[in-house]
Amino acid sequence: MPDTSPILALPLLQPAQAQKHVTVNEALLLLEAAVQLVVEDRSRTAPPAEPGQGQRHLVAPGAVGDWAGQEGAVAVFDSGVWRFVPPAPGWWAEVRAEGRQVVWTGSAWEIRQPDLDQLPGLGIGTAHDAVNRLALAAEASLFSHAGAGHQMKVNKATPADTASLLFQTNWSGRAEMGLSGSDAWALKVSAEGSAWIEALAVDGATGHVSGAAVQASASDVTPGRLMRADYGYSPGNLLGEVSQSGGQPTGAAIQSGSTANGSFLRLADGTQICTHSLTMLAGAYNNVGGTWTFAQPFVGTRSVSLTAPNSGSDYINCSASQFGLCRQGSGGVSVVLNLTGITPIDPAAQVRNVRVSAIGRWV
C-alpha cells in the first residue's frame, strides 16, 4: 500500500499503524493548505517578518532564507513554522494583493485569462442589455494601434439595414452618420430627436454630394449651404466660354477674345462689349466713315460709341477740328459709322486708329 495519495500526496493510514491521529492530522493540514487556495501575494522571495497563523503565500523565484529552494510552492505558516505544498499543473489561486486569479502551469504562476469568446454581453462601468450587448460608462474610450494603423468596422446585413454612429443628448438623437437605409454614406441631424434632416449624402458610385447642406440649383442662394462646383465660380471655371439655359448661366463667368475685327468681352449675365480701332475714309457727303463688323455678333439693341477726335487717332489730309457730329447705322453683326465734317473735307482724307466700342447682349 502506498504511503501517500496520488494527487495531493496526503499521508495514508497504514495497517496496524500506531498513533493514527498524527497521520490524519497531517493530511488535514495539507488539505487546509491546498483547498480553496487564497494567498496573500506571489511576489515575495522571503517570509514576512510577522506572519499570521495559517497565512499563505506563493513563493516567488529567487527565494532565500526559510523559503530557499521552494520557488512556486504554497508556503503556509503553521504553529511557528513554514509548511510548503508543491502545486500540480492546473491549480488555481486567488491572490489578494492583486485581486485576481493565477494558475500553476507546471513552471510558473500565471494570470488566468478568462474565456471571452461568445459572451452573452459585457458591461464596463454599467449594465448591458439584450440590444446593447457591449455597454461602457466612462469619461473616454481608447482604440489604439498594434504597431501600424487601426480600423473600426461597423457591418450590416443588407443595404436596407443601418450601420451608423448615433450621437445623443440625454438619450435623444441629435446627429447620425453612416449607412442608414442605403449604401450611401449620410449625415443626418435633428433638433429634437424625432424629425431628421439629411444634411449630406455621398453617392458611392460617383462620390458626389447632395443633401440639405448643399446648393439645390444654380439659383439657390440659401444662406449656410455649400456651393456646388457646377453652380458656382472658381479659378477652374471663372474664365472660359459663357453659356446660358433658361436665363441661368451654365458656363464660365467671363469670356474674352479677339479677331481681325477687334476684341470682345462676354459676361455670364448676357452682356457683351466689343472694341476696335477703325480706319475711316472720306465719303460723298463731306464726312469720313467706315463699316465695323463686330468681333462677335449682338442680339437685340446695342449701343455703339465712337470717339473722335482722340489722342490715339491719326489724321491724314485732314485735322481733328474739321469734324463734329458722329452718325451711326444699325445692325447686330456690323454697323456703319460716320464723322460729319464741319468744314470742307479733302476727298483723300483719312482718320486712322479711331477707337470704337459697342455694348449690348450676346443672348
Contact at 8 Å (CB) between 279 and 272? no
* Residue 342 placed within a domain: yes
pLDDT in tens, 27-68: 666 666 667 789 999 999 999 999 998 899 999 999 999 999
237 located within any domain: no
Residues 292 and 277 in one domain: yes
Please check whether residues 315 and 276 belong to one and the same domain: yes
* C-alpha distance from residue 142 to each of 128, 137, 145, 152, 326 (Å): 19, 13, 10, 12, 83
In this structure, the answer to whether residues 262 and 353 fall within a common structural domain is yes
Whether residue 268 is found in the same domain as residue 355: yes
Q: In which domain, by residue range, is 210 found? A: 160-232
Whether the pTM exceeds 0.85: the reply is no
> Do 262 and 314 fall within a single domain?
yes
pLDDT band for position 138 (cuts 50, 70, 90): very high
In a domain, 104, yes or no: yes
* pLDDT tens track for 298-342: 997 777 776 655 667 899 999 988 888 777 777 889 988 888 899
> Are residue 176 and residue 268 in the same domain, yes or no?
no
Pick the more confident residue, 200 or 355: 200
Which contacts qualify for 133-141: CB closer than 8 Å, 24 or more apart? none
Q: Would 148 be classed as within a structural domain?
A: no
Q: Do 45 and 101 reside in the same domain of the chain?
A: yes
Are 77 and 173 members of one domain?
no
Please tell me whether residues 14 and 68 are part of one structural domain.
no
Q: Strand 56-58 vs strand 185-189: parallel, antiparallel, or unpaired?
A: unpaired
**Total tally of structural domains belonging to the chain:** 4
* Residue 74 and residue 20 share a domain: no
Are both 21 and 51 inside the same structural domain? no
Residue 306 lies in a domain: yes
pLDDT value at 11 more than 70 = no
Q: Is residue 138 part of a domain?
A: no
Tell me, yes or no, whether 21 and 78 share the same domain: no
For the stretch 253-277, pLDDT in tens is 999 999 999 999 999 999 999 999 9
Which among 354, 353, 350, 355 is positioned nearest to 281, based on CA atoms?
350
